Structure 1
């Protein structure tokens, strides 16, 4: 029983450590977006360049995120 409790405690400690390390990650943010929790819309706010040309629809979809509805002209 003690071994099971010790294993559960280690698992919980590992989970909390992982959560603390991953919460400050800014993978999708460009260099000028430091200190923010939500990325600005547009390709200039992305860390890597888009793989294709950025269209008006892409811009409007990015601006509406995380809203559940797409832009009116989607």
Structure 2
């Protein structure tokens, strides 16, 4: 009697897991081919250049603030 319940429970758990996985795959969860856009090396280089420019500007403003504070 207990073995039948355990087996039935295990089978239901496996079935539920398969159904949830199938639903998640159709909705777009997991490894969806179009979920991550392609990024080119040029775009990465542009981003890095912009970040370096912004950092240099922030450093310059900080230095100016410190010089104004010392006066």
TM-score interval, smaller chain: 0.3 to 0.5
TM-score under structure 2 length normalisation: 0.40
Higher radius of gyration, 1 or 2: 2
- Higher percent of residues as helix: 2
The one of the two structures with greater contact order (alpha-carbon pairs below 8 A, sep at least 6) is 1
TM-score under structure 1 length normalisation: 0.39
